[in-house]
């Protein structure tokens, strides 16, 4: 693993550790000045670290947000995380593609897949997870 690969993964790990504090303004230390987050599913974008921090601080929750890192993989400047998120009522999963430049996250493209029941009986070929 090269130093830059370690840096991308380490920065993303730090991002999720900071998110887990629920002090969302603290996350700004790992975000670039020109930070941008995109949610293609809802066709929305957040520009700037301040908007990102304020959005998360204002987001309604039933309790503290808990972030469980399922997996993080990375290459020279990019990392992808699979994270489970809950406030003890809402349960969600985020697949996030990070671009890290000079030790700061400059861009995130994030997908929030929703669980669903299998569309037909295919138990002959598959087994349920959990």
Domains of the chain, CATH where assigned: 3-111 (3.10.450.50)
For residues 47 and 82, what is the distance between their CA atoms, to the nearest angstrom? 22
What would the two tokens of residue 38 be? 């995109």
Higher pLDDT: 57 or 75? It is 57
What mean pLDDT is predicted for residues 51-67? Answer: 97
pLDDT value at position 74? 96
| Mean pLDDT, rounded, of the chain | 94
Judging by beta carbons within 10 Å of its beta carbon (0-12, 13-18, 19+), is residue 100 exposed, middle or buried? buried
pLDDT value at position 120? 83
What mean pLDDT is predicted for residues 103-120? Answer: 93
pLDDT value at position 6? 55
């Amino acid at each position: 693993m090269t130093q830059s690969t370690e840096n991308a993964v380490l920065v993303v790990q730090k991002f999720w550790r900071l998110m887990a504090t629920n002090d969302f303004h603290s996350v700004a230390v790992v975000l670039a000045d020109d930070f941008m987050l995109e949610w293609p599913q809802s066709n929305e974008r957040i520009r700037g670290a301040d908007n990102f921090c304020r959005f998360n601080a204002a987001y309604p929750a039933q309790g503290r947000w808990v972030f469980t890192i399922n997996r993080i993989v990375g290459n020279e400047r990019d990392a992808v995380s699979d994270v489970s998120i809950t406030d003890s009522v809402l349960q969600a999963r985020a697949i996030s593609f990070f671009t890290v430049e000079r030790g700061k996250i400059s861009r995130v493209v994030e997908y929030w897949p929703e669980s669903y029941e299998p569309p037909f009986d295919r138990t002959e070929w598959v087994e349920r997870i959990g």
